[in-house]
Amino acid sequence: MEDWAEIRRLYRSEKLSQAAIAERLSLSRNTVAKALNSEAPPRYVRTPSTTSAWAQVELAVRALLGQFPTMPATVLAQRVGWAGGHSWFAENVARIRPEYAPADPCDRLVHLPGEQVQCDLWFPGALVPDHAGVLRSFPVLVMVAACSRFIAAMMIPSRVTGDLLAGMWHLLQDIGAVPRTLLWDNESGIGQRGRLADGVTGFCGVLATRLIQTRPYDPESKGLVERANGYLETSFLPGRTFTSPADFNAQLWAWLAGIANRRIHATTGLIPADALAADRAAMTALPPVAPATGTTVVTRLGRDYYVSCGGNAYSVHPEMIGRMITVTTGLDRITARCADRLVADHERLWGSAGLVTDPEHLAAAAVLREQFRSRPAAGAHLAVDVEVADLSAYDVRFGTGEVA
Protein backbone atom coordinates (compact mmCIF):
# COMPACT_ATOMS: atom_id res chain seq x y z
CA MET A 1 0.00 0.00 0.00
CA GLU A 2 2.92 2.33 0.72
CA ASP A 3 4.32 1.69 -2.78
CA TRP A 4 0.91 2.46 -4.33
CA ALA A 5 0.73 5.84 -2.57
CA GLU A 6 4.35 6.72 -3.42
CA ILE A 7 3.93 5.80 -7.09
CA ARG A 8 0.90 8.09 -7.41
CA ARG A 9 2.71 10.92 -5.59
CA LEU A 10 5.76 10.72 -7.82
CA TYR A 11 3.63 10.58 -10.95
CA ARG A 12 1.28 13.45 -10.05
CA SER A 13 3.40 15.73 -7.89
CA GLU A 14 6.93 15.29 -9.31
CA LYS A 15 5.77 14.53 -12.87
CA LEU A 16 8.08 11.53 -13.22
CA SER A 17 7.56 9.03 -15.97
CA GLN A 18 6.58 5.47 -15.30
CA ALA A 19 10.10 4.30 -16.23
CA ALA A 20 11.67 6.77 -13.81
CA ILE A 21 9.35 5.74 -11.04
CA ALA A 22 10.08 2.05 -11.63
CA GLU A 23 13.80 2.73 -11.55
CA ARG A 24 13.64 4.85 -8.38
CA LEU A 25 11.46 2.38 -6.42
CA SER A 26 13.07 -0.75 -7.90
CA LEU A 27 9.73 -1.95 -9.20
CA SER A 28 8.65 -3.38 -12.50
CA ARG A 29 6.99 -1.12 -15.04
CA ASN A 30 3.89 -3.36 -14.97
CA THR A 31 3.54 -2.79 -11.23
CA VAL A 32 3.80 0.96 -11.70
CA ALA A 33 1.23 0.90 -14.50
CA LYS A 34 -1.26 -1.13 -12.38
CA ALA A 35 -0.85 1.30 -9.48
CA LEU A 36 -1.56 4.31 -11.68
CA ASN A 37 -4.62 2.65 -13.23
CA SER A 38 -6.08 1.59 -9.85
CA GLU A 39 -8.32 4.04 -7.94
CA ALA A 40 -7.98 2.16 -4.65
CA PRO A 41 -5.01 0.64 -2.84
CA PRO A 42 -4.49 -3.08 -3.44
CA ARG A 43 -5.78 -5.50 -0.82
CA TYR A 44 -5.66 -9.21 -0.38
CA VAL A 45 -8.87 -11.02 -1.25
CA ARG A 46 -9.07 -14.69 -0.43
CA THR A 47 -10.58 -16.75 -3.19
CA PRO A 48 -13.49 -18.68 -1.66
CA SER A 49 -13.16 -22.40 -1.84
CA THR A 50 -16.08 -24.29 -3.33
CA THR A 51 -15.51 -27.12 -0.89
CA SER A 52 -15.23 -25.14 2.36
CA ALA A 53 -16.13 -26.71 5.70
CA TRP A 54 -19.22 -24.50 5.96
CA ALA A 55 -20.44 -25.65 2.55
CA GLN A 56 -20.30 -29.23 3.79
CA VAL A 57 -22.68 -28.56 6.71
CA GLU A 58 -24.80 -25.72 5.33
CA LEU A 59 -27.59 -27.96 4.06
CA ALA A 60 -27.86 -29.73 7.44
CA VAL A 61 -27.93 -26.36 9.23
CA ARG A 62 -30.66 -25.10 6.93
CA ALA A 63 -32.71 -28.23 7.55
CA LEU A 64 -32.55 -27.67 11.31
CA LEU A 65 -33.36 -23.97 11.00
CA GLY A 66 -36.37 -24.88 8.90
CA GLN A 67 -37.79 -26.83 11.87
CA PHE A 68 -36.32 -24.76 14.73
CA PRO A 69 -35.65 -21.19 13.53
CA THR A 70 -34.43 -19.95 16.93
CA MET A 71 -32.08 -22.84 17.73
CA PRO A 72 -28.82 -21.35 19.14
CA ALA A 73 -25.69 -21.57 17.01
CA THR A 74 -23.93 -23.63 19.69
CA VAL A 75 -26.66 -26.28 19.53
CA LEU A 76 -26.63 -26.23 15.74
CA ALA A 77 -22.86 -26.85 15.77
CA GLN A 78 -23.36 -29.90 18.00
CA ARG A 79 -26.19 -31.29 15.88
CA VAL A 80 -24.28 -31.08 12.58
CA GLY A 81 -20.97 -32.24 14.06
CA TRP A 82 -19.07 -28.99 13.48
CA ALA A 83 -15.43 -29.25 14.52
CA GLY A 84 -14.14 -25.85 13.35
CA GLY A 85 -14.06 -22.42 14.96
CA HIS A 86 -17.26 -21.25 16.64
CA SER A 87 -17.07 -17.57 15.61
CA TRP A 88 -16.98 -18.37 11.89
CA PHE A 89 -19.80 -20.90 12.25
CA ALA A 90 -21.93 -18.44 14.27
CA GLU A 91 -21.29 -15.71 11.69
CA ASN A 92 -22.57 -17.94 8.88
CA VAL A 93 -25.61 -18.98 10.93
CA ALA A 94 -26.43 -15.32 11.65
CA ARG A 95 -26.19 -14.60 7.93
CA ILE A 96 -28.82 -17.20 6.93
CA ARG A 97 -31.06 -17.22 10.04
CA PRO A 98 -33.24 -14.23 8.88
CA GLU A 99 -34.44 -16.47 6.04
CA TYR A 100 -36.13 -18.69 8.65
CA ALA A 101 -36.74 -16.36 11.61
CA PRO A 102 -37.36 -12.79 10.39
CA ALA A 103 -36.26 -10.03 12.75
CA ASP A 104 -38.89 -8.28 14.86
CA PRO A 105 -37.91 -4.59 14.78
CA CYS A 106 -38.87 -2.37 17.71
CA ASP A 107 -39.87 1.21 16.90
CA ARG A 108 -38.79 4.13 19.03
CA LEU A 109 -41.93 5.23 20.87
CA VAL A 110 -42.89 8.85 21.36
CA HIS A 111 -45.36 9.33 24.21
CA LEU A 112 -47.69 12.32 24.01
CA PRO A 113 -48.88 14.15 27.15
CA GLY A 114 -51.84 12.46 28.79
CA GLU A 115 -51.71 9.53 26.41
CA GLN A 116 -50.79 6.55 28.57
CA VAL A 117 -50.07 5.24 32.05
CA GLN A 118 -48.26 1.90 32.19
CA CYS A 119 -49.16 -0.50 35.03
CA ASP A 120 -47.43 -3.56 36.46
CA LEU A 121 -46.90 -5.58 39.63
CA TRP A 122 -43.53 -5.67 41.38
CA PHE A 123 -42.72 -8.31 43.99
CA PRO A 124 -39.98 -7.09 46.37
CA GLY A 125 -39.60 -10.46 48.12
CA ALA A 126 -40.50 -11.77 51.56
CA LEU A 127 -39.61 -8.61 53.49
CA VAL A 128 -42.89 -7.42 55.04
CA PRO A 129 -44.52 -9.15 58.04
CA ASP A 130 -48.21 -10.07 57.89
CA HIS A 131 -50.69 -9.94 60.79
CA ALA A 132 -48.99 -12.96 62.38
CA GLY A 133 -45.45 -11.63 61.96
CA VAL A 134 -44.58 -13.99 59.08
CA LEU A 135 -42.51 -12.35 56.34
CA ARG A 136 -44.36 -12.36 53.03
CA SER A 137 -43.93 -11.01 49.51
CA PHE A 138 -46.97 -8.80 48.93
CA PRO A 139 -47.39 -7.30 45.43
CA VAL A 140 -46.59 -3.66 44.76
CA LEU A 141 -48.73 -1.93 42.14
CA VAL A 142 -46.55 0.41 40.05
CA MET A 143 -47.94 2.99 37.60
CA VAL A 144 -45.82 5.27 35.40
CA ALA A 145 -47.12 8.26 33.41
CA ALA A 146 -45.49 7.64 30.02
CA CYS A 147 -44.80 11.26 29.04
CA SER A 148 -43.61 12.76 32.35
CA ARG A 149 -42.15 9.47 33.75
CA PHE A 150 -43.93 10.20 37.06
CA ILE A 151 -43.97 7.06 39.26
CA ALA A 152 -46.85 6.16 41.59
CA ALA A 153 -46.75 2.94 43.58
CA MET A 154 -48.21 1.21 46.62
CA MET A 155 -48.23 -2.22 48.24
CA ILE A 156 -51.58 -4.02 48.06
CA PRO A 157 -52.81 -7.12 49.96
CA SER A 158 -53.24 -9.39 46.93
CA ARG A 159 -53.42 -9.52 43.13
CA VAL A 160 -57.16 -10.25 42.87
CA THR A 161 -59.27 -7.96 40.68
CA GLY A 162 -60.86 -6.01 43.52
CA ASP A 163 -57.51 -5.10 45.10
CA LEU A 164 -55.98 -4.18 41.73
CA LEU A 165 -58.85 -1.83 40.91
CA ALA A 166 -58.76 -0.28 44.38
CA GLY A 167 -55.01 0.26 44.07
CA MET A 168 -55.34 1.78 40.59
CA TRP A 169 -58.01 4.21 41.79
CA HIS A 170 -55.85 5.23 44.76
CA LEU A 171 -52.81 5.89 42.54
CA LEU A 172 -54.80 7.73 39.86
CA GLN A 173 -55.97 10.08 42.61
CA ASP A 174 -52.28 10.58 43.44
CA ILE A 175 -51.57 11.43 39.79
CA GLY A 176 -54.58 13.73 39.79
CA ALA A 177 -56.18 12.82 36.46
CA VAL A 178 -57.07 9.90 34.18
CA PRO A 179 -55.00 9.09 31.04
CA ARG A 180 -56.53 8.13 27.72
CA THR A 181 -55.22 4.57 28.04
CA LEU A 182 -54.06 2.24 30.80
CA LEU A 183 -51.51 -0.33 29.62
CA TRP A 184 -51.33 -3.72 31.36
CA ASP A 185 -49.79 -7.09 30.62
CA ASN A 186 -51.86 -10.30 30.80
CA GLU A 187 -52.29 -10.15 34.57
CA SER A 188 -55.02 -12.62 35.56
CA GLY A 189 -56.74 -10.09 37.82
CA ILE A 190 -57.11 -7.71 34.87
CA GLY A 191 -57.96 -10.18 32.12
CA GLN A 192 -56.61 -12.98 29.95
CA ARG A 193 -57.19 -14.42 26.48
CA GLY A 194 -58.74 -11.23 25.20
CA ARG A 195 -61.37 -10.98 27.96
CA LEU A 196 -61.26 -8.47 30.81
CA ALA A 197 -62.01 -9.69 34.32
CA ASP A 198 -65.38 -8.94 35.92
CA GLY A 199 -65.53 -5.34 37.08
CA VAL A 200 -62.69 -4.00 34.92
CA THR A 201 -64.94 -2.81 32.09
CA GLY A 202 -67.19 -0.93 34.50
CA PHE A 203 -64.17 0.58 36.22
CA CYS A 204 -62.82 1.91 32.90
CA GLY A 205 -66.27 3.16 31.91
CA VAL A 206 -66.60 5.32 35.02
CA LEU A 207 -63.08 6.72 34.45
CA ALA A 208 -63.77 7.28 30.70
CA THR A 209 -60.53 5.55 29.75
CA ARG A 210 -59.48 2.49 27.77
CA LEU A 211 -57.48 -0.47 29.08
CA ILE A 212 -55.06 -2.13 26.65
CA GLN A 213 -53.33 -5.45 27.33
CA THR A 214 -50.05 -6.26 25.63
CA ARG A 215 -49.46 -9.43 23.70
CA PRO A 216 -48.07 -12.38 25.72
CA TYR A 217 -44.28 -12.38 26.15
CA ASP A 218 -43.98 -8.77 24.97
CA PRO A 219 -42.43 -6.86 27.91
CA GLU A 220 -40.92 -4.21 25.61
CA SER A 221 -44.37 -2.67 25.11
CA LYS A 222 -44.41 -1.50 28.72
CA GLY A 223 -40.70 -0.92 29.13
CA LEU A 224 -41.19 2.29 31.14
CA VAL A 225 -42.85 0.54 34.08
CA GLU A 226 -40.46 -2.43 33.76
CA ARG A 227 -37.52 -0.05 34.19
CA ALA A 228 -39.33 1.62 37.09
CA ASN A 229 -39.58 -1.79 38.77
CA GLY A 230 -35.82 -2.22 38.35
CA TYR A 231 -35.26 1.28 39.74
CA LEU A 232 -37.30 0.42 42.83
CA GLU A 233 -35.37 -2.84 43.20
CA THR A 234 -31.94 -1.20 43.09
CA SER A 235 -32.51 2.26 44.58
CA PHE A 236 -35.36 2.00 47.08
CA LEU A 237 -35.17 -1.49 48.53
CA PRO A 238 -31.51 -2.01 49.59
CA GLY A 239 -30.80 -1.45 53.28
CA ARG A 240 -34.42 -0.99 54.36
CA THR A 241 -36.47 -2.94 56.88
CA PHE A 242 -40.25 -2.84 57.29
CA THR A 243 -42.47 -3.49 60.29
CA SER A 244 -45.78 -3.72 58.41
CA PRO A 245 -47.35 -3.07 55.00
CA ALA A 246 -48.33 0.40 56.22
CA ASP A 247 -44.70 1.10 57.11
CA PHE A 248 -43.61 -0.13 53.65
CA ASN A 249 -46.04 2.24 51.93
CA ALA A 250 -45.06 5.15 54.15
CA GLN A 251 -41.36 4.69 53.30
CA LEU A 252 -42.15 4.15 49.62
CA TRP A 253 -44.30 7.27 49.28
CA ALA A 254 -41.72 9.41 51.08
CA TRP A 255 -38.96 8.13 48.75
CA LEU A 256 -41.07 8.67 45.63
CA ALA A 257 -41.98 12.22 46.64
CA GLY A 258 -38.53 13.24 47.82
CA ILE A 259 -36.17 11.38 45.47
CA ALA A 260 -37.60 9.37 42.59
CA ASN A 261 -39.98 12.02 41.24
CA ARG A 262 -37.66 14.93 42.06
CA ARG A 263 -34.59 13.70 40.16
CA ILE A 264 -33.71 14.77 36.61
CA HIS A 265 -34.78 11.92 34.35
CA ALA A 266 -31.94 10.70 32.14
CA THR A 267 -34.09 10.36 29.01
CA THR A 268 -36.39 13.38 29.17
CA GLY A 269 -34.00 15.72 30.98
CA LEU A 270 -36.96 16.87 33.11
CA ILE A 271 -38.03 16.44 36.71
CA PRO A 272 -41.03 14.03 36.68
CA ALA A 273 -42.91 15.89 39.41
CA ASP A 274 -42.66 19.13 37.40
CA ALA A 275 -43.37 17.49 34.03
CA LEU A 276 -46.51 15.89 35.46
CA ALA A 277 -48.32 19.25 35.19
CA ALA A 278 -48.25 19.14 31.37
CA ASP A 279 -49.11 15.44 31.44
CA ARG A 280 -52.05 16.03 33.76
CA ALA A 281 -53.35 18.96 31.70
CA ALA A 282 -53.86 16.63 28.71
CA MET A 283 -55.61 13.96 30.79
CA THR A 284 -59.27 13.61 31.73
CA ALA A 285 -60.42 14.93 35.08
CA LEU A 286 -61.16 12.47 37.85
CA PRO A 287 -64.85 11.40 37.85
CA PRO A 288 -67.10 13.04 40.46
CA VAL A 289 -68.28 9.59 41.60
CA ALA A 290 -65.68 7.00 42.58
CA PRO A 291 -65.73 3.78 40.56
CA ALA A 292 -66.67 0.49 42.19
CA THR A 293 -63.56 -1.13 43.62
CA GLY A 294 -62.81 -3.92 46.03
CA THR A 295 -64.56 -7.29 46.12
CA THR A 296 -68.28 -7.65 46.88
CA VAL A 297 -69.86 -11.01 47.73
CA VAL A 298 -73.48 -11.80 48.66
CA THR A 299 -73.81 -14.84 50.91
CA ARG A 300 -76.00 -16.40 53.59
CA LEU A 301 -74.55 -16.16 57.09
CA GLY A 302 -74.02 -19.55 58.70
CA ARG A 303 -74.39 -20.61 62.33
CA ASP A 304 -70.78 -19.79 63.13
CA TYR A 305 -71.50 -16.10 62.16
CA TYR A 306 -68.11 -15.68 60.40
CA VAL A 307 -67.34 -14.86 56.76
CA SER A 308 -64.12 -15.75 54.93
CA CYS A 309 -62.33 -13.00 52.97
CA GLY A 310 -58.84 -13.38 51.51
CA GLY A 311 -58.11 -16.49 53.58
CA ASN A 312 -59.12 -14.82 56.89
CA ALA A 313 -62.33 -15.10 58.95
CA TYR A 314 -64.27 -12.06 60.23
CA SER A 315 -67.22 -12.09 62.62
CA VAL A 316 -70.68 -10.78 61.74
CA HIS A 317 -73.47 -9.90 64.18
CA PRO A 318 -75.09 -13.27 65.03
CA GLU A 319 -78.61 -11.84 64.68
CA MET A 320 -78.01 -12.17 60.91
CA ILE A 321 -77.62 -15.98 61.04
CA GLY A 322 -79.57 -17.51 58.17
CA ARG A 323 -80.04 -14.17 56.40
CA MET A 324 -78.41 -12.83 53.21
CA ILE A 325 -75.59 -10.33 53.77
CA THR A 326 -73.36 -8.32 51.41
CA VAL A 327 -69.65 -8.49 52.26
CA THR A 328 -67.32 -5.83 50.78
CA THR A 329 -63.54 -6.23 50.90
CA GLY A 330 -61.48 -3.05 50.47
CA LEU A 331 -57.77 -2.40 50.79
CA ASP A 332 -58.07 -1.48 54.47
CA ARG A 333 -61.44 -2.66 55.78
CA ILE A 334 -63.96 -5.53 55.61
CA THR A 335 -67.62 -4.53 55.93
CA ALA A 336 -70.87 -6.53 55.88
CA ARG A 337 -74.42 -5.23 55.47
CA CYS A 338 -77.85 -6.78 55.74
CA ALA A 339 -80.16 -4.52 53.76
CA ASP A 340 -79.21 -1.04 55.04
CA ARG A 341 -77.84 -2.20 58.38
CA LEU A 342 -74.06 -2.38 58.95
CA VAL A 343 -73.51 -5.70 60.72
CA ALA A 344 -69.68 -5.93 60.55
CA ASP A 345 -66.77 -3.53 60.14
CA HIS A 346 -63.22 -4.82 60.63
CA GLU A 347 -59.71 -3.76 59.76
CA ARG A 348 -58.43 -6.05 56.99
CA LEU A 349 -55.70 -8.53 57.81
CA TRP A 350 -52.68 -8.91 55.50
CA GLY A 351 -51.87 -12.56 55.08
CA SER A 352 -54.02 -15.62 55.71
CA ALA A 353 -55.34 -17.96 58.42
CA GLY A 354 -56.33 -15.02 60.63
CA LEU A 355 -59.42 -14.73 62.85
CA VAL A 356 -61.05 -11.37 63.74
CA THR A 357 -63.86 -11.27 66.30
CA ASP A 358 -65.79 -8.21 67.42
CA PRO A 359 -66.41 -8.42 71.23
CA GLU A 360 -69.94 -7.11 70.65
CA HIS A 361 -70.62 -10.00 68.27
CA LEU A 362 -69.22 -12.47 70.77
CA ALA A 363 -71.44 -11.12 73.56
CA ALA A 364 -74.54 -11.15 71.35
CA ALA A 365 -73.82 -14.76 70.39
CA ALA A 366 -73.59 -15.75 74.08
CA VAL A 367 -77.00 -14.17 74.76
CA LEU A 368 -78.60 -15.91 71.79
CA ARG A 369 -77.04 -19.22 72.79
CA GLU A 370 -78.44 -18.91 76.35
CA GLN A 371 -81.87 -18.05 75.02
CA PHE A 372 -81.75 -21.16 72.84
CA ARG A 373 -80.79 -23.39 75.78
CA SER A 374 -83.49 -22.02 78.13
CA ARG A 375 -86.32 -22.16 75.61
CA PRO A 376 -89.48 -24.13 76.74
CA ALA A 377 -89.88 -27.75 75.75
CA ALA A 378 -91.44 -28.40 72.41
CA GLY A 379 -95.26 -28.33 72.61
CA ALA A 380 -95.39 -27.21 76.23
CA HIS A 381 -97.24 -24.02 75.32
CA LEU A 382 -99.99 -26.10 73.65
CA ALA A 383 -101.14 -28.07 76.87
CA VAL A 384 -104.99 -27.85 77.60
CA ASP A 385 -107.47 -29.69 79.87
CA VAL A 386 -109.25 -32.55 78.10
CA GLU A 387 -112.49 -34.10 79.39
CA VAL A 388 -112.25 -37.83 80.24
CA ALA A 389 -115.04 -39.88 78.66
CA ASP A 390 -117.21 -42.31 80.69
CA LEU A 391 -116.45 -45.68 79.08
CA SER A 392 -119.33 -47.52 80.96
CA ALA A 393 -121.72 -46.16 78.35
CA TYR A 394 -120.16 -48.52 75.84
CA ASP A 395 -120.81 -51.50 78.16
CA VAL A 396 -124.49 -50.63 78.39
CA ARG A 397 -124.77 -50.14 74.63
CA PHE A 398 -123.39 -53.55 73.84
CA GLY A 399 -125.15 -55.34 76.78
CA THR A 400 -121.98 -56.37 78.53
CA GLY A 401 -122.48 -54.39 81.70
CA GLU A 402 -125.05 -53.45 84.30
CA VAL A 403 -127.36 -50.54 83.85
CA ALA A 404 -126.75 -47.93 86.46
Q: What is the predicted pLDDT for the residue at 349?
A: 97
Q: Which domain, by its residues, includes 168?
A: 116-281
Quick one: pLDDT at residue 104?
A: 75
85 and 225: one domain?
no
Q: What is the DSSP letter of 382?
A: G
**pLDDT computed for residue 380 by the predictor:** 59
- What tens digit of pLDDT does each residue of 260-308 get? 999 999 999 999 999 999 999 999 999 999 999 999 999 999 999 999 9
234 and 169 co-located in one domain: yes
Co-location of 163 and 266 in the same domain: yes
152 in the same domain as 25:
no
Is the residue at 136 inside a domain?
A: yes
Successive 10-residue mean pLDDT values, the chain, 404 residues: 80 85 86 84 67 88 94 95 92 94 79 96 96 96 97 97 97 97 95 92 96 85 94 96 97 98 95 96 95 95 95 96 96 96 97 95 95 77 66 73 53
Within this chain, do residues 163 and 275 fall inside the same structural domain, yes or no? yes
Q: How far apart are the first and last CA of the chain?
A: 161
Q: Is 202 contained in some domain? A: yes
CATH code (residue 241): 3.30.420.10
Shared domain check, 316 and 200: no
Write the burial class of residue 163 (CB in 10 Å: 0-12 exposed, 13-18 middle, 19+ buried).
Answer: buried
Query: Considering the domain boundaries, does residue 254 fall inside one?
Result: yes
Q: Is residue 326 part of a domain?
A: yes
Predicted local confidence at residue 389, as pLDDT: 72
* pLDDT recorded at residue 378: 63
Q: How many domains does the chain have?
A: 4
Contact status, residue 151 vs residue 142, Cβ threshold 8 Å: yes
Q: Is the sign of the CA dihedral 320, 322, 326, 331 positive or negative? A: positive
**Same domain (yes/no): 153, 271:** yes
Q: Distances from the Cα of 346 to the Cαs of 166, 248, 314, 340, in angstroms?
A: 17, 21, 7, 17
Boundary of a domain, candidates 247, 281, 315: 281
The answer on 310 and 358 residing in a single domain is: yes
| Domain shared by 366 and 254, yes or no | no
Residue 255 lies in a domain: yes
- Claim to verify: residue 347 and residue 232 sit in the same structural domain: no
Task: Please report whether residue 388 resides in a domain.
Answer: no
CB count in 10 Å sphere of residue 394: 11
185 & 78 share domain = no
Considering the domain boundaries, does residue 341 fall inside one? Answer: yes
Angle between helices 2-12 and 18-25 (to 10 degrees): 140
Pair 133, 226 in one domain = yes
